[in-house]
A = this chain, B = another copy of it.
Amino acid sequence: MRIAIVGCGQLSRMMALAGIPFGIEFSFINDSDNDDTRCVDGLGSVVKLSDYWQVGQDAQALFDALGKPDTVSVEKEQLDIQILQALAPYTRVNPCVDAVLACQHRNKEKSLLARLGIPSSPSLYCVSAKEAMDKLKLPMVAKSCSDGYDGKNQWVLKTPADVEHFDSLNMQDYIIEAWIKFEREVSIVSARGLNGAIVHYDITENEHQNGILKKSIAPAANVSAALTKKAQSYMESLLTELDYVGVMAMECFVLNDELIINELAPRVHNSGHWTQIGSVTCQFENHVRALAGIELGSTQILGSVGMLNLIGTDIPSVNEMSQALCGNSKLYWYNKVPRPGRKLGHINFLAADAETLSQAMQPLAKVVL
Is B298's CB under 8 angstroms from A23's CB?
no
**Per-position 1/0 for A252-291, Cβ under 8 A of B:** 0000000000000000000000000100110001000100
A298 contacts across to B, CB distance below 8 A: 327-328, 350
A332 an interface residue at 8 Å Cβ cutoff?
Answer: yes
Interface footprint category on A = 35 or more
A19 to chain B, nearest CB (A): 10
Surface stretch bound by B, among A88-96, A168-176, A316-324:
A316-324
> Binary interface profile of A, 50-86, with partner B (CB < 8 Å = 1, else 0)?
0000000000000000000000000000000000000
Q: In the complex, what distance in Å separates the CA atom of A125 from the CA atom of B42?
A: 47
- Determine whether the beta carbon of B325 is less than 8 Å from that of A295: yes
Q: Does A330 contact B (CB under 8 A)?
A: yes
Report if A49 contacts B (CB, 8 A). Answer: no
Which residues of the partner chain B approach A223 to less than 8 Å between Cβ atoms?
Answer: none
**In the bound complex, what is the Cα–Cα distance between A294 and B321 (angstroms)?**
9
Asked if A333 CB lies within 8 Å of chain B CBs, one says yes
- Complex: how many Å from CA A149 to CA B333? 36
**Contact for A280 among B295, B335, B350, CB less than 8 A:** B350
Inside 8 A of A281's CB, which chain B residues have their CB? 327, 330
User: How far, in angstroms, from A23 to B344 measured CA to CA in the complex?
Assistant: 10
A1:B42 contact, CB within 8 angstroms: no
A22: Cβ under 8 A from any B Cβ: yes
Residue from A17, A43, A295, A332 having most chain B Cβ neighbours under 10 A: A295
Q: A21-B330, A277-B280 are in contact. List 10 more A-B contacts (CB 8 A).
A: A1-B319, A1-B322, A23-B318, A23-B322, A23-B331, A281-B330, A294-B323, A294-B325, A297-B327, A298-B328
Q: List 20 A-B contacts (CB under 8 A).
A: A1-B319, A1-B322, A14-B21, A22-B330, A22-B331, A22-B332, A22-B333, A23-B318, A23-B322, A23-B331, A23-B335, A42-B43, A280-B302, A280-B328, A281-B327, A289-B325, A293-B323, A297-B327, A297-B328, A298-B327
